[in-house]
């Protein structure tokens, strides 16, 4: 089974069981997770849900993007419409769930994995956590509600993480508010035993769960790199266009700032189309609700199915793995406003 679900001691235990692909999700996984959550929300025997991934390497590495590449020559649109509709519906369900959801974010938590965890009420990270919205690496855009939650991060960190696809650690995730508790992964079995032996009550579950995790967790974390660089991030990512952000980084890179040079080169390696669409996405999403953001992202995702950079990015990262995508257009200046606006229009449905 790609998803296992069982109720023990008032807890709905929900596990993604695809360790061979770092618990990446496909339509089947999404539907099974959704069915369990919807069933348990109505079940008075379930006080809260615990969501986790099989194995030590990943909570969830995101969506199975290789599938889109394999379907490009066929009619990829119907599959994409079903996948993104069901995935985003699940993400919204988690954000709005009426019972607590504990997400154990051990190992890789990327893309769709962030979508599954960011809306949970209690989020544990470990020394193995690697958190990212890495869609920029494959010529796509940060989805699963990123238009909503990246805009809620401190300062301009949301823009920074979206445009650079930066991988961050546990302490950074806690600093930006996408995780709540830190503990060593070796403590997970102990936590599960405590969860299975405690007497849970719906009336006090939020307080009791929070106290249990706080008592077991550790606060002795290394200082957050994002916190250290917050001022620099705000300085360079405050501008109204990607071109201005690049110019700001470039002007300081000339002075030999190592961090700035690294981030400049990082951004310049991404698809210009993805950079500009993502930047506009975050601007558009700033005053939208989660559901409005998900609707916008669904339209964007369907448009990306017709974008050459998307398949080129998957080829370079997931298929040939040469890490040398050839973006077209290759320069930010080659994209017009109408090129970008196109991604925010409602796709024409084919009969």
The tens digit of pLDDT for each residue in 243-301 reads 999 999 999 999 888 999 999 999 999 999 999 999 999 999 999 999 999 999 999 99
CB-count burial class (<10 Å; 0-12, 13-18, 19+) for 168 = buried
pLDDT at 216: 84
pLDDT at 351: 45
Question: Can you say how many angstroms the Cα of residue 139 is from the centroid of all Cα atoms in its chain?
Answer: 15
Quote the CA–CA distance of 78 and 83 in Å, as a whole number.
9
Active site residue 55: no
**165-181: average pLDDT:** 96
Cα 103 to Cα 12, 113, 122, 144: the distances in Å are: 12, 10, 6, 16
Percent of residues, the chain, with pLDDT higher than 90: 94
* DSSP of 178-214: S--EE--GGGHHHHHHHHHHS---TTTHHHHHHHHHH
pLDDT at 147: 98
- Reported as a pLDDT band with limits 50, 70 and 90, residue 348 is confident
Cα 250 to Cα 10, 108, 274: the distances in Å are: 55, 31, 20
Question: pTM of the prediction?
Answer: 0.96
Give the active site residue among 63, 115, 139, 145.
63
- For residue range 225-238, list pLDDT tens digits in order: 999 999 999 999 99
Give the active site residue among 107, 112, 113, 158.
112
Going by the DSSP 8-state scheme, the letter that residue 95 receives in this structure is: H
pLDDT at 161: 98
pLDDT at 256: 86
Active site residue 63: yes
Active site residue 74: no
Quote the CA–CA distance of 226 and 228 in Å, as a whole number.
5
Quote the CA–CA distance of 297 and 344 in Å, as a whole number.
8
Domain boundaries, the chain: 1-351
Going by the DSSP 8-state scheme, the letter that residue 229 receives in this structure is: T
- Reported as a pLDDT band with limits 50, 70 and 90, residue 340 is very high
**155-179: average pLDDT:** 97
Average pLDDT of the chain, as a whole number: 96
Owner of token pair 């990015």: 313
pLDDT at 220 > cutoff 80: no
In terms of DSSP H, where are the helices of the chain? 27-41, 66-71, 76-95, 112-117, 146-149, 157-164, 170-176, 188-197, 205-216, 225-228, 230-237, 242-253, 258-268, 272-285, 290-304, 308-314, 337-341
130-132 β-sheet, strand order? 58-60, 108-110, 130-132
- Rounded to the nearest 10 degrees, the angle between the axes of helix 230-237 and helix 242-253 is 130
Give the active site residue among 64, 143, 180, 297.
143
What class is the 1-351 domain? Answer: alpha beta
Give the active site residue among 54, 91, 135, 180.
135
Quote the CA–CA distance of 270 and 326 in Å, as a whole number.
10
- For residue range 80-126, list pLDDT tens digits in order: 999 999 999 999 999 999 999 999 999 999 999 999 999 999 999 99
pLDDT at 349 > cutoff 80: no
Quote the CA–CA distance of 233 and 298 in Å, as a whole number.
29
Active site residue 135: yes
Owner of token pair 């993502």: 278
pLDDT at 153 > cutoff 70: yes
């Amino acid at each position: 089974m790609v998803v296992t679900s069982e109720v023990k001691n008032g807890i709905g235990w929900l596990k993604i069981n695809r360790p061979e692909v770092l618990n990446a999700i496909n339509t089947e996984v999404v539907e099974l997770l959704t069915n369990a959550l919807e069933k348990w929300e109505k079940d008075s025997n379930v006080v809260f849900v615990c969501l986790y991934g099989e194995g030590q390497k990943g909570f969830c590495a995101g969506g199975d993007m290789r599938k889109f590449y394999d379907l490009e020559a066929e009619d990829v649109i119907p599959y994409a419409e079903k996948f993104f509709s069901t995935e985003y519906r699940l993400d919204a369900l988690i954000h709005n769930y009426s019972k607590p959801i504990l997400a154990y974010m051990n190992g890789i938590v990327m893309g769709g994995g962030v979508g599954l965890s960011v809306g949970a009420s209690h989020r544990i990270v470990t020394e193995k956590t690697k958190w990212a919205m890495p869609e920029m690496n494959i010529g796509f855009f940060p989805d699963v509600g990123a238009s909503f939650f990246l805009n809620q991060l401190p300062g301009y960190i949301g823009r920074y993480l979206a445009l650079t696809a930066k991988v961050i650690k546990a302490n950074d995730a806690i600093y930006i508010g996408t995780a709540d508790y830190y503990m060593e992964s070796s403590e997970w079995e102990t936590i599960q035993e405590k969860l299975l032996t405690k007497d849970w009550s719906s009336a006090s579950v939020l307080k009791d769960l929070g106290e249990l995790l706080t008592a077991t967790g550790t606060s002795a974390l290394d200082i957050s790199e994002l916190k250290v660089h917050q001022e620099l991030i705000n300085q360079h990512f405050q501008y109204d266009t990607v071109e201005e952000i690049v110019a700001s980084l470039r002007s300081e890179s000339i002075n030999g700032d190592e961090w700035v040079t690294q981030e400049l080169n990082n951004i310049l390696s991404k698809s210009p189309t993805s950079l500009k669409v993502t930047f506009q996405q975050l601007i558009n999403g700033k005053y939208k609700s989660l559901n409005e953001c998900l609707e916008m992202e669904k339209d964007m995702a369907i448009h990306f199915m017709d974008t050459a950079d998307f398949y080129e990015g998957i080829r370079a990262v997931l298929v040939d793995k040469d890490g040398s995508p050839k973006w077209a257009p290759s320069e930010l200046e080659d994209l017009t406003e109408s090129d970008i606006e196109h991604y925010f229009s409602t796709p024409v449905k084919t009969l």
